[in-house]
Structure 1
Amino acid sequence: MISVYLDLAIGLVLAFLLLSLLVSGINEAFVRLLGIRSKFLWAYLRDTLDGGPGKGGSWIPAGVADVFAKLPFSRNDPRPRHEPDPAPSVVEALPVDPYAVLAADESPPEVDVTGRLYGRLQEIDHPTGARTSISDIPPERFSGAVLELVAAEEGGVEGLLAKLEAIGSPFAGHLRGVWEGAQRDMNRFRKGVEDWFDGEMRRLSTLYRRYVKWVVFTLALALTLLFSMDSLEYGKTLLRDNAYRAAVAAIAGGGGDGAIALKDSLRDRCAVSGSVEPYSCVTEVFSSPALVKIFDHAVLSVTIPPDDTRNPSFGWNGGAWWSRLTTPGHWPGYLITVVALLFGATFWWDILRRLTGIRGSRS
C-alpha cells in the first residue's frame, strides 16, 4: 500500500516539475529577449548615480505593468550604449568645478556618472545589441570601479564627493556615509562600498522578484488552462495505472483473481466486448503512461505513432478542451495545479530528490 501512495506522490511531483520548468523557461526566454533584468539594474543605477529623469522622477517603473509593458519597449532605455573596445587605461576626472557650480545661481551641469561607471565595467560586457547586456555586477567589481573614479580626482574621495554633491547626484550621500563610517581609511572604504552595494542588490532583487511573481502566476494560469491540467483527475489516473500494473503482475504470478481484474480493466480501457485479446491492449496501455496523458486534453493534441517511420500527428482539440474548461468539476484541480506551479521548479526538484533518494553531485 505504501508503494501505491509513493507512486502517486512521485507522479504528481514529476508532473508539477515538468510544468514548472516550462513556466520558468518561458519566463526566462521573455526576460532575456527583452533584456528586462539588465534594464532593471541600470534603471536603479541611473536613479542612484544620476537621479531620475530631469532630477524629478525615477527610472525604475512603479508597477508591474510598467516593468513588463513599458520598460521593455520604452525608447528611453536606461542602459548605456555598448562599447566593444576595452576600457581606457587613463580615467578622466569629472568635468565639474564644484566651487564654480556652488557660486553660480544656475542649475548644475548634466554629467553622465552612470556612463562613466560603465566605462570601468565594460570588460565584463558582451555584445548582444546596441546597449549593454550587463545584468549583474559583483560588489567587489563595483567597488573597484568606484576606486578608479576616486583615483582620477585630485582630492581623492573628498574631491569626488564634492563634485557629486555639486551636480546633485544621490550617490554622494551614500558614498559620504560609507567614507565617514570607514573613518577615512581606504581599505575600510572599499569594503564598505562592497557591503553597501551588496545590500542594495539584495533589496533590488527582492523588488524584482515581487514583480516577477505576477508574471509567473500569469504563465502558470495560462499553461494550466492551455493543457487543461486537472491535478485531481491526474491523481486518479495514476492510481488506476498502478492498479492495472498490479493486475498484470498478478497474472505473471499465476493469480486467478488478478486475471479477472485485468480482463475487466481491459474492457474499460480498450472498449472491447466479448473476448479480449490481452497482449496488444497491454502493450498499448503500457506505451501511454499517465505522465503522457497530461497533454491529451490540451487545445492542440499530439499523437506519437507506434511506427517509427511515421511522423507525429497534430490535431485540434478545441471542442473537448473548451468543454473541460467550462466544467466546474475540473476547477478545483486547475486551482491546485496553479498553486503548485507557483512554488517553482527548484522546490519540486528538491521534493523529487527526497522521494526518490537522488543525491546531488558534490565537489
Structure 2
Amino acid sequence: MLSVYVDLALGLVVSFLLLSLLVSGLNEAFVRLLAIRSKFLWAYLRDTMDGSDAQGRSWLPAKVRDVFAALPFVRDPRPKHSDQPAPSQAGAAPARETKAEDAMVNLLYQRVQEIDHPKRGRTSIANIPPGRFSVALMEMAAAEPGGVEGLLEKLKSMRSPLYGHLKGVWETAQRDLDRFRQGVETWFDGEMQRLSMLYKRYVKWVVAALGVVVTLLFTMDGLEYGKTLLRDNAFRTSVAAVAEAGPDAYNELKARCTGGDPVPCVTETLSQPALVKLLDQALVSVSIPAQGDPVVHWNGGLWWDRLTTPSHWPGFLLSYVALLFGAPFWWDVFRRITGMKSRRS
C-alpha cells in the first residue's frame, strides 16, 4: 500500500517539475529576447547618474506594474553599442551649460565597452562588477582638473543624483582616494543588491502570469491527474494478478477491455502513462503512432470544454499554486523522495 502512495507522490512531483521547468524556460526566453536584465541595469544607472529624462519620468519605475509597461516594450534605456575600443583616457564630464543627454552614463559606458557585444544596436552588458564601477569612476575623476573634487563640482552643476551619494562617500573616506574607491565599491554593491530585489519582484510576477498560461494551455487538472495515477496503478496491479493467477483469471481482464482480445488493450494502456494521457488534452497535442511520423492534433473543442467545466477549476488552481513554488523546489522534493544525493553534499 505504501508503494501506491509513493508512486502517486512521484507522479505529481515529476509533473509539477516538468511544467515548472517549462515556465522557467519561457521566462528565460522572454528575458533574453527583450534584454530585461540589461535594461534594468542601465535604467538604474541613468536614474542614478544623469537623473530622469526630459519628461520627468524615471527610467526605472518603482512599481512593478510600471516596469512592465516601461522596460519590456516602450522604453530602452541602454546606450547604443560602439565597436570602437575604449579610449585610453576618460573624457571630462560636461559643464551644466553644455550638458548632453545621459552624459555620465555615456562616460561610464566608454570605460566598460570592451566587454560589450551588440544586441539590436544596443549594449548587452547586464552586469558591472562593483570593483569595475569604482575603477571607472576613479578614471573619470582623474580626467577632471580637481580630481574627485572637480568631479563632484561637475556633478553638482549637472544636478546629477550621483553627487549626493559620492559626496557622502568622499566625506566618509576623509578625502583619501583609496578609501574613497573602496567606499564607492561598497555603495555600488549595495545598490546592485537593491536592484536585484526589484528584479526578483518583476520576475515573480512574470512567472505568475506564465503559470496561468501554462496551466490553462495544458488544462492541467492536478486532482484529475492524481486520480488517473491511482487508476493506472490499480490497472497494472490487476494485470500482474491475472498473470500470476493463470488462465482462470483471464476472463476478468477480458471483460474490462472492449473487444475480443485484451492484449492490445493492455499494451496500449501500459504504454500511455497518466501524464501522457493528461497532456493529450492540451490545446495542441502530439501523438507518435507505432508506424509513421508524429501527428499533431488540434483539440480546440475538448480543450474549451475542460476549461469551461467548473469541476476542473479546483484542479487547475492546485496545479497553478504548485507551479508558483518553482522548479528548484520540486527538484528538491524529487531528490528527497528518491533518495538522490546532491553533488554539493
**Following TM superposition, by how much is the alpha carbon of 1:246 offset from its aligned partner in structure 2, in angstroms?**
2.6
**Following TM superposition, by how much is the alpha carbon of 1:5 offset from its aligned partner in structure 2, in angstroms?**
1.4
Give 1:231's aligned residue. Answer: 222
Give 1:179's aligned residue. Answer: 170
Residue pair 1:23, 1:216 contacting (<8 A) in 2 also? yes
> Pick from 194, 210, 217: which aligns with 2:201?
210
Q: How does 1:57-72 map to 2 (within 5 A)?
A: 57-72=57-72
Give 1:104's aligned residue. Answer: none
Pairing 1:87–2:72 present: no
**Following TM superposition, by how much is the alpha carbon of 1:338 offset from its aligned partner in structure 2, in angstroms?**
0.7
> Quick one: structure 1 residues 213 and 133, their matched pair in 2 at CA, closer, same or farther if it must change by over 3 Å?
same
**Following TM superposition, by how much is the alpha carbon of 1:242 offset from its aligned partner in structure 2, in angstroms?**
1.9
**Following TM superposition, by how much is the alpha carbon of 1:156 offset from its aligned partner in structure 2, in angstroms?**
2.1
Q: How does 1:100-179 map to 2 (within 5 A)?
A: 109-110=99-100, 112-179=103-170
Once superposed, what is the RMSD of the aligned Cα atoms? 2.4
- How far apart in 2 are the matches of 1:263 and 1:31? 58
> Quick one: structure 1 residues 3 and 188, their matched pair in 2 at CA, closer, same or farther if it must change by over 3 Å?
farther
**Greater shift in the superposed pair: 59-68 or 215-224:** 59-68
**Following TM superposition, by how much is the alpha carbon of 1:362 offset from its aligned partner in structure 2, in angstroms?**
4.2
> Pick from 314, 328, 337: which aligns with 2:310?
328
Q: Deviations over 1:149-192 (max 9, x none)?
A: 12222322222111111111101111111222223333332222
**Following TM superposition, by how much is the alpha carbon of 1:256 offset from its aligned partner in structure 2, in angstroms?**
6.4
Residue pair 2:239, 2:253 contacting (<8 A) in 1 also? no
Give 1:351's aligned residue. Answer: 333
> Quick one: structure 1 residues 256 and 198, their matched pair in 2 at CA, closer, same or farther if it must change by over 3 Å?
farther
> Pick from 299, 303, 314: which aligns with 2:283?
299
Using the size of structure 1 for normalisation, the TM-score is 0.87
- Residue identity (%): 62
2:265 maps to amino acid: C
Give 1:44's aligned residue. Answer: 44
1:27 maps to amino acid: N
**Following TM superposition, by how much is the alpha carbon of 1:198 offset from its aligned partner in structure 2, in angstroms?**
1.6
Q: Deviations over 1:214-241 (max 9, x none)?
A: 2222211111111110000001111122
> Quick one: structure 1 residues 229 and 144, their matched pair in 2 at CA, closer, same or farther if it must change by over 3 Å?
same
- How far apart in 1 are the matches of 2:253 and 2:162? 72
Which structure 2 segments of 5+ residues have no match?
none
- How far apart in 2 are the matches of 1:36 and 1:337? 28
1:290 maps to amino acid: A
Give 2:262's aligned residue. Answer: 277
**Following TM superposition, by how much is the alpha carbon of 1:321 offset from its aligned partner in structure 2, in angstroms?**
1.4
- How far apart in 2 are the matches of 1:158 and 1:32? 40
- How far apart in 1 are the matches of 2:152 and 2:59? 23
Give 1:7's aligned residue. Answer: 7
- How far apart in 2 are the matches of 1:196 and 1:266? 75
Residue pair 1:108, 1:167 contacting (<8 A) in 2 also? no
Residue pair 1:61, 1:71 contacting (<8 A) in 2 also? no
- How far apart in 2 are the matches of 1:45 and 1:356? 47
- How far apart in 1 are the matches of 2:120 and 2:131? 26
Partner SS for 1:302: strand
Partner SS for 2:61: coil
- How far apart in 2 are the matches of 1:70 and 1:312? 42
Q: Deviations over 1:106-133 (max 9, x none)?
A: x673461001001111122112221101
- How far apart in 1 are the matches of 2:155 and 2:183? 18
**Following TM superposition, by how much is the alpha carbon of 1:351 offset from its aligned partner in structure 2, in angstroms?**
1.5
Partner SS for 1:14: helix
Partner SS for 1:297: coil
Partner SS for 1:168: coil
Using the size of structure 2 for normalisation, the TM-score is 0.91
- How far apart in 1 are the matches of 2:329 and 2:253? 36
- How far apart in 2 are the matches of 1:45 and 1:267? 72
Give 1:342's aligned residue. Answer: 324
> Quick one: structure 1 residues 115 and 328, their matched pair in 2 at CA, closer, same or farther if it must change by over 3 Å?
same
Instruction: Count residues in correspondence.
Output: 344
- How far apart in 1 are the matches of 2:29 and 2:253? 44
2:2 maps to amino acid: I
> Quick one: structure 1 residues 156 and 281, their matched pair in 2 at CA, closer, same or farther if it must change by over 3 Å?
same
> Quick one: structure 1 residues 61 and 203, their matched pair in 2 at CA, closer, same or farther if it must change by over 3 Å?
same
**Greater shift in the superposed pair: 284-293 or 336-345:** 284-293
**Greater shift in the superposed pair: 163-172 or 240-249:** 240-249
> Quick one: structure 1 residues 255 and 146, their matched pair in 2 at CA, closer, same or farther if it must change by over 3 Å?
farther
